[in-house]
Amino acid sequence: MDELGAHISTAGGVRNAPGRALEIDAPNLQLFTKQPNRWAEPLIDEEERAAWHEAFKGAGLGIAGSHDSYLINLASPRPDLWERSLASFTRELERCAALDLDFLVTHPGNATDGDPESGIARNAEGVTRALEAVGGSTRVLLEITAGSGTSIGGSLAGLAAIVEGIPEPQRSRVGVCFDTCHAYSAGYDLVEDYEGVWREFEARLGFERLGLFHLNDSKNPFGSRKDRHEHIGEGSLGEEPFRRIMNDERFVHVPKLLETPKGDDMVTFDRRNLARLRGYRAGV
C-alpha cells in the first residue's frame, strides 16, 4: 500500500472525505471531525458513522486520522481554558473512536505563563486523562511545531518530555507527527544536517514513536519559527530533503500526508504534489 496521502475536506460530512481522497489519488487521509476554529462539539451519530465506514471501505483506503481543534491548549496555565481544552480533546478522541481512526494529531500547546516545564506537565496530564476516558486503538500523535512564542512543541526534547510524563499503559498509545515545515522552521536543519536531525530524533524518542509525517515545504527560511506551508520542492527546504525522506528505508512504512496549499483547485495541487513525491522515489 502506498503510504502517501493528504488532508482532505469534510465539507458536507465526514462521509464525503474518502471519495475526495480518491479524486487526488491518495490512499490515506487526514481530516477534521469538526470545525477547527470553533468550540462546538458535534456528535458522530450512528447514521454518519455507518456512512463513513461504508465510504472508507468502498474506497479501499489504508489509513485515516484526524487533526484536533486549533483552540485546544492543554499546556494552558488558566484552569478554565485547560478544562475546556481537555473536554474538547476528549470529545475529539471519542469521535475518532466512533470512526475507528488510526491517529489523532494534536499541537502540544502554549505555556503562556512562560514556564515550559509546567506546560509540559499540564499537557501530559491532559493527554493521559483523555486516553484514560476513551478506549480504542486511536493513537495520539504530538506534532512538532514551528516553535514560535510560548509553544512547548517546538523541540524534540519537549515532545520527549511530554511522552515521558504520560504513564503506561496510556503512553503506548502516544507517538509523534513530524511536520517538515515546522521542524525546519524550529531549527532542525533537514537541508544541511539531515542525518543529524534523525540521530537526535532516535536518541530522544526512538523511531517507534514516529507515527506520521506531514510533508510540507516552507515559505519561510530556516529557523524562522514561522508556520507557513509551501508546495513540495518550491520553498526553502527545496527538493532534496523530501527526496531523501521518500527513499529512506527507516521511513518506508510511516504514513506521509500533505498539508500543502490547496489554492482554488485542491485536486490539481494535491495530485501534483503527490506525483512529485512519488517521482522522488522513482528517481525522477
Q: Locate the domains of the chain by residue range.
A: 4-281
Q: What is the DSSP letter of 91?
A: H
Instruction: Please compute the mean of the pLDDT values over residues 86-108 and round it to a whole number.
Output: 98
Do residues 190 and 221 touch, judged by C-beta distance below 8 A?
no
Give the C-alpha separation, 155 to 274, whole Å.
28
- Output the pLDDT for position 1: 53
Top CATH class of 4-281 equals alpha beta
Q: Is 98 helix (H, G, I), strand (E, B) or coil?
A: helix
pLDDT-based confidence at residue 284 (cuts at 50, 70, 90): low
For residue 278, the tally of other CB atoms under 10 A from its CB is 14
Please, is 47 exposed, middle or buried when counting C-beta atoms within 10 Å of its C-beta (0-12, 13-18, 19+)?
exposed
The terminus-to-terminus CA distance of the chain in angstroms comes to 21
Mean pLDDT of the chain: 97
pLDDT of 283 above 90:
no
Instruction: Please compute the mean of the pLDDT values over residues 154-180 and round it to a whole number.
Output: 98
- Output the pLDDT for position 112: 96
Closest CA to 88 of 137, 136, 33, 48: 33
What are the tens digits of pLDDT across the range 31-65?
999 999 999 999 999 999 999 999 999 999 999 99
Cell 478554565 maps to which residue? 80
CA 3 to chain centre: 15
Instruction: Please compute the mean of the pLDDT values over residues 66-72 and round it to a whole number.
Output: 97
- Output the pLDDT for position 158: 97
pLDDT of 16 above 80:
yes
**Stated pTM of the model:** 0.97
